[in-house]
Amino acid sequence: MLIIKRKSSSLFRNFFAKRTKELKPAVQSAPGWKLFGKVPPRENLPKDSKIIQQEYEARTGRMYKPPPPSARRKNIEFEPLSTTALILEDRPANLPAKSVEEALRHRQEYDEMVAEAKKREIKEAHKRKKIMRERFKQEENIASAMVIWVNEILPNWEGMRATRRVRELWWQGLPPSVRGKVWSLAMGNELNITPELYEIFLSRAKERWKSFSETSSENDIEGASVADREASLELIKLDISRTFPSLYIFQKGGPYHDLLHSVLGAYTCYRPDVGYVQGMSFIAAVLILNLEEADAFIAFANLLNKPCQLAFFRVDHSMMLKYFAAFEVFFEENLPKLFLHFKSYSLTPDIYLIDWIFTLYSKSLPLDLACRVWDVFCRDGEEFLFRTGLGILRLYEDILLQMDFIHIAQFLTKLPEDITSEKLFSCIAAIQMQNSNKKWAQVFASLMKDNKEGDKNHSPALKS
């Protein structure tokens, strides 16, 4: 009995082993299942593009002739995406084959897709070349202008600064290598500040920082009144981190963090009547990027001593209203449709101009474009700040005419980042700063003499 069992078990093992061997090839070749039974195995392996091309030629009788070497593109290499050629693939074996007409149509569609991709690539290549040509031309112009500024203009500054040739060259933008020097000369030093004086006020600021950190805490800062916080050196620390955050050079640990902190702190001790006001950090940062530390402080103090900047940073409401009224005179003269549109929504200049003037456009415009605005501002004075504002409004006039109060305010407080110097300066050049044969200075002077300020000259935001 034991012998029979052993024989039967060995028989079963041999049978199933043999059966398994027979089934293995079938399992490997089985393609899968469909709804009503197995999908028949696919005989053909995936075809590459050469086989597809040969089959296409055999069916259509058309021979593909490769272009001669001279006709091939030399500078542009193009390979269509692999998925683009899927349209040339035959259908799976379980589906009806393509007709000749459908295959021809697919081939035509494929050729069109490849041709369109080639056109896109050629267009992008031309665009890149154009950008490179313009950049190279701009660099050449800057280099040639730098030679003129260094060798001709700067050595003879007083005699040449007001000439027509220099003013035209100035309008095109100052070369970065001489920008700081020209700014310093144009702003002047009416306050007669010396580097030694800067060191004195910087040491005072450091003493105050030290005593403040020993006697105060962050809770004391948060609980302080607005006036105290604006006059406090501690507020500077909070604002420095918000200055050009995308550059990462003024934030804590950055190469210019301590430098910016020093210039602002020294100014707060130098002018306690003005103190520190939000927006100053952007002006000081632009100067630091173009001047040495002591020179940046001297330029900063003299710049903020100008009548327009002093009125805004002291928040002199009556003076600010006169600047807004003068701005509206030229606004109505140059852009009457947009002026009436703003009037219909009671949208006053203070809503957007305050931020622009406070930071001299360094926060509102891209940094390189803001520096170009500063170039001409140093040449023409406060008038150019308001002319730039009108240039921005002219540039976006068509868009602003379609907006309501909320959208206009949002748009003007955060201008598009793709604004270019060519477009903006062409719009600024089109602005005429003359009204009834009166220039900006004459219009502003007449407003200063007029003590009767009508309701139309008052800003609701400033009244509150």
d(CA 431, CA 26) in angstroms, rounded, equals 84
d(CA 36, CA 273) in angstroms, rounded, equals 91
- With a threshold of 0.85, does the pTM exceed it? no
Residue 13 confidence (pLDDT): 52
* Cα angle, residue 269 at apex, residues 264 and 275 outer, rounded to 5°: 70
Residue 398 confidence (pLDDT): 96
Largest CA distance in the chain: 132
Residue 208 confidence (pLDDT): 84
Low-confidence ranges of the chain (pLDDT < 70): 1-57, 59-84, 212-234, 451-464
**Backbone angle region of 361, left / alpha / beta, with phi > 0 → left and psi within -120 to 50 → alpha:** left
d(CA 349, CA 347) in angstroms, rounded, equals 7
Distance of CA 77 to the CA centre of its chain: 32
* Cα angle, residue 459 at apex, residues 458 and 461 outer, rounded to 5°: 150
Residue 48 confidence (pLDDT): 60
Residue 66 confidence (pLDDT): 53
Residue 5 confidence (pLDDT): 47
**Which residue from 190, 166, 148, 180 is spatially nearest to 374, judged by alpha carbons?**
180
Residue 47 confidence (pLDDT): 57
The CA distances from residue 354 to 278, 324, 434, in Å, are 12, 9, 23
Domains plus CATH for the chain?
Answer: 51-65+74-143 (no CATH), 186-463 (1.10.472.80)
Measured torsion, CA atoms of residues 333, 335, 339, 341, in degrees rounded to the nearest 10: 150
Residue 59 confidence (pLDDT): 66
Contact residues for 41 (Cβ-Cβ < 8 A; gap 6+): 29, 30, 31
